[in-house]
Amino acid sequence: MNLEDRRDSFAAACIRSRARGEIGPGPAPVTLEFETALLLSAHGGAAFFSQINTGSTVRGGAKARRDETTLCPVHFWNGERVAELAIRAPVPIKPLACHAFARIAAH
């Protein structure tokens, strides 16, 4: 599944959950898409990666071990799969060629 399909599936799942009353009213989900090369060129010294989604507690996420090695500095990356990129610094969004995608339920 490519990134656009994953993004669209996430937005559709949020819309379905809202329609079923599983989550409260609020704005439609918004996905921010960043130019990763620009983000890392500006903030590489404060960039860390993880092979797991550190905030997930579903689908076995609660069982995943989290410790001081969960987030590794990007300069240690050796081509392995990355699930999460974290920047430990303020990130101004406009200069990073960020694109926002909002999906609103048609129903």
Q: In whole angstroms, how far apart are CA 80 and each of 33, 48, 52, 84?
A: 21, 13, 12, 12
Cβ atoms 76, 51 nearer than 8 A: no
pLDDT of amino acid 73: 93
Model confidence at 102, pLDDT cuts 50, 70, 90, reads very low
Model confidence at 98, pLDDT cuts 50, 70, 90, reads low
**Is 45 contained in some domain?**
yes
**Is 44 contained in some domain?**
yes
**Is 90 contained in some domain?**
yes
Look up the pTM and report it: 0.58
**Is 74 contained in some domain?**
yes
In tens, the pLDDT along 73-84 reads: 999 888 888 888
**Is 107 contained in some domain?**
no
In tens, the pLDDT along 19-31 reads: 777 776 766 666 7
- Could you tell me the residue range of the domain that residue 31 belongs to? 3-102
Cβ atoms 52, 84 nearer than 8 A: yes
